[in-house]
Amino acid sequence: MIEFVSGISVVCFAASYAVALVCEASRLLFRSGVRGAVMIAFAGAGLVAHTLFLGWRAAHEQAVPLSSAFDWYLLAAWLLAGGYLWITLANPRTPVGLFMLPVVLGLIGAAQLSSRIPFPQTPATQVWGAIHGSFNLAASVAVASGGLAGLLWLIQAGRLARKRPPLNSFRLPSLERLAQVTDRTLPIAASTAAAGFLSGIVLNAVNRQAGLLETVPWTDPVVLRMGGLVAWLVAAAVAARMGGRRADGPRTAAWLSVASFVLLTGSILWGLAAPTRHGVPPTRPADASSEAAP
């Protein structure tokens, strides 16, 4: 059993999610009586393999468990994959996988491009790092969930405006349910993103106070993109709240949620491409002097 778990790779659960996505997409082409079972089986197998992979890393990494950018993206993908499976089991005719699984696979791809080097491991940074990462993880999942719900709202509203009949193979959630998701996720995303940004400032101050050299400057691309994203999310949450009582309030919230998801995606891509000091293990002055010595 240990050999089996240790042999699980990212390709294992990524391939399972990809097969589930193909099954979801085939709904648009033909009807099948066994497709649903196959789709759930592959998604479930992928989630189990995903869970075992994260559990193995948490149990066998020398540093604090799941404390690298690689693990962070995989955790976000794991949460969305679990949400997809739960929604699909509860509403088998809702094609949520067409929208959620590409995000899951995108996060897995981002993990593959990210560093596996653990974040700073001093006692103080462990605590603040966990707080910082948890808030950012919650904000990202909220933005992704709200963005997908907003996109579905716009699709459903457009279909109803054109008086198009529902497809036989699947059906979309009601506008009321989708509007509830966008109304709830926008303030959650704004508050958790702001808390994540503030805890990141504290974490950086802790590193500096401890005499660490590699603190993150204010001009770092990660700081800039996260600051901009937080400002947008707070403004979007306020705008959605102010327009909630208007007739076009749900449409406004849907567009704001979609725009937030697009900005989050761009922020992640920027973070993968731009050079950054974020997440780089810090060094103490003594370490730096010893490295410089011949």
Better-scored residue on pLDDT, 225 or 188: 188
Question: At which of 102, 118, 134 does a domain end?
Answer: 118
The C-alpha atoms of residue 289 and residue 260 are separated, in whole angstroms, by: 44
Say yes or no: 149 and 250 in one domain. yes
Say yes or no: 167 and 112 in one domain. no
Better-scored residue on pLDDT, 134 or 42: 42
Question: At which of 93, 118, 143 does a domain end?
Answer: 118
CA diameter of the chain = 77
pLDDT at 207: 67
> Where residue 5 falls among pLDDT bands split at 50, 70, 90?
low
3-state secondary structure 35-101: HHHHHHHHHHHHHHHHHHHHHHHHHHCCCCCCCCHHHHHHHHHHHHHHHHHHHHHHCCCCCCHHHHH
Evaluate whether residue 286 is within a structural domain.
no
pLDDT at 104: 93
pLDDT at 102: 93
Determine the average pLDDT of the residues in 2-24. 80
pLDDT at 200: 79
pTM of the model: 0.75
pLDDT at 170: 64
Burial class (CB in 10 A: 0-12, 13-18, 19+), 13: buried
Say yes or no: 92 and 61 in one domain. yes
Phi, psi of 161 (to 5 degrees): -65, -35
3-state secondary structure 97-122: HHHHHHHHHHHHHHHHHCCCCCCCCC
Q: Are 178 and 217 in contact (CB under 8 A)?
A: no
pLDDT value at 208 more than 90: no
Say yes or no: 183 and 247 in one domain. yes
Evaluate whether residue 288 is within a structural domain.
no
Say yes or no: 102 and 127 in one domain. no
Distances (CA, A) of 126 to 26, 28, 121, 163: 45, 47, 6, 55
Instruction: Give the best-scoring range by mean pLDDT among 31-35, 153-157, 266-270.
Output: 153-157
pLDDT digits (tens, 9 = 90+) for 80-95: 999 999 988 888 777 8
The amino acid at 196: G
pLDDT digits (tens, 9 = 90+) for 230-243: 999 999 999 988 87
pLDDT value at 269 more than 70: yes
Say yes or no: 274 and 128 in one domain. yes
Better-scored residue on pLDDT, 289 or 223: 223
pLDDT at 4: 52
The C-alpha atoms of residue 23 and residue 206 are separated, in whole angstroms, by: 48
Evaluate whether residue 57 is within a structural domain.
yes
Determine the average pLDDT of the residues in 30-56. 87
The C-alpha atoms of residue 263 and residue 213 are separated, in whole angstroms, by: 31
Evaluate whether residue 22 is within a structural domain.
yes
pLDDT value at 287 more than 60: no
pLDDT at 275: 54
pLDDT digits (tens, 9 = 90+) for 136-194: 889 989 999 999 999 989 988 888 877 776 665 567 778 888 888 899 999 999 999 99
Question: At which of 85, 118, 151 does a domain end?
Answer: 118
Share of the chain above pLDDT 70, in %: 77
pLDDT value at 288 more than 70: no
Evaluate whether residue 266 is within a structural domain.
yes
pLDDT at 285: 45
Question: What is the count of structural domains for the chain?
Answer: 2
pLDDT at 276: 54
Better-scored residue on pLDDT, 181 or 123: 181
Say yes or no: 219 and 123 in one domain. yes
pLDDT value at 279 more than 60: no
Say yes or no: 16 and 102 in one domain. yes
Determine the average pLDDT of the residues in 46-60. 87
pLDDT value at 256 more than 90: yes
Say yes or no: 141 and 276 in one domain. yes
Tell me which residue range forms the domain holding 104: 1-118
Say yes or no: 51 and 181 in one domain. no
